[in-house]
Amino acid sequence: MNAPLDTHTTAPVKKALVLFSGGQDSTTCLAWALNHYDTVETIGFRYGQRHAVELDVRPKILEKMRRFAIDWPGELGPDHICDLSLISDISETAMTADMEIRMMENGLPNTFVPGRNLMFLTVAAMLAYRRGLNVLVGGMCETDFSGYPDCRDDAIKALQVALNIGMDTRLNLVTPLMWKNKKETWQLAFDLGGQSLVDLIVQDTHTCYMGTHDQLHEWGYGCGKCPACMLRKRGFTQYCAEKNAQ
């Protein structure tokens, strides 16, 4: 007599690699990933950025996020830092050099670093391949952003196709903030981790393009004038106004 067939199937373990800069968006995405995947690792990039202070704040944020993760489904694994300083060698922008932020003739701000996110995701995919991770999570957004072409949904989807063809994988590129404005990003942080996570983002993350990290505003550290600070401040003001009205 034949043995009965084993009809039990084990769900595949979902393992994610989060592009984690140390800013508001990537910290929110890290919390989101820890709520959606079994294992989560992080990757950051040193590319000669003017706001390199974001790299300095990462360890403290990760330490606190490990405490949050105790109450979340996902486990926070190793952090990886990659040196991509060639980006600043081949592309002088207001993000990588001491120059005034302005709009260029092509309608983009000169903080745009051509190909930066494409390179970030490609390198992250290489690491994910080696680490056996099947999801990349990034904070790209085209709803409330500075107009960077490589933050657009079409660019991310096209790159996902190219990476999977080129590496013969089934890697999934996920962008939880793609269609959210900054107010909704603050709300998502609250929904994921309550006021404690919102406070962490305000007090510990860095998003300011100018690298200003010596003045804490109600919405976080920053110069208060660059595009990143203005978006963050406006979103926080709208988030607080809506929350107070409830």
CA angle, corner 136, sides to 130 and 137, nearest 5? 145
Number of domain units in the chain: 1
Here the CATH number for the domain that contains residue 133 is 3.40.50.620
Determine, yes or no, domain membership for 2: no
pLDDT digits (tens, 9 = 90+) for 58-76: 999 999 999 988 889 999 9
Q: Is 136 helix (H, G, I), strand (E, B) or coil?
A: strand
Determine, yes or no, domain membership for 8: no
pLDDT for residue 105 is more than 90: no
| Token digits of residue 136 | 């990349």
How far apart, in whole angstroms, are the C-alpha atoms of residue 87 and residue 132?
27
Determine, yes or no, domain membership for 79: yes
Determine, yes or no, domain membership for 200: no
pLDDT digits (tens, 9 = 90+) for 113-162: 778 899 999 999 999 999 999 999 999 999 876 678 888 999 999 999 99
Determine, yes or no, domain membership for 107: yes
Specify whether the CB–CB gap between 117 and 84 falls below 8 A: no
Specify whether the CB–CB gap between 41 and 82 falls below 8 A: no
Q: Which residue has the higher pLDDT, 115 or 236?
A: 236
Confidence of residue 8 (pLDDT cuts 50, 70, 90): very low
pLDDT for residue 3 is more than 50: no
Determine, yes or no, domain membership for 84: yes
pLDDT for residue 5 is more than 60: no
pLDDT digits (tens, 9 = 90+) for 148-206: 888 899 999 999 999 999 999 999 999 999 999 999 999 999 999 999 999 999 999 99
Nearest to 219 by CA among 238, 232, 207: 232
Determine, yes or no, domain membership for 189: no
Specify whether the CB–CB gap between 193 and 202 falls below 8 A: no
CA–CA distance from 50 to each of 56, 103, 136, 195, 211 (Å)?
A: 13, 18, 25, 30, 6
The whole model's pTM is what?
Answer: 0.90
Residue-number span of the structural domain to which 116 is assigned: 15-182
Determine, yes or no, domain membership for 238: no
How far apart, in whole angstroms, are the C-alpha atoms of residue 134 and residue 206?
28
pLDDT for residue 96 is more than 70: no
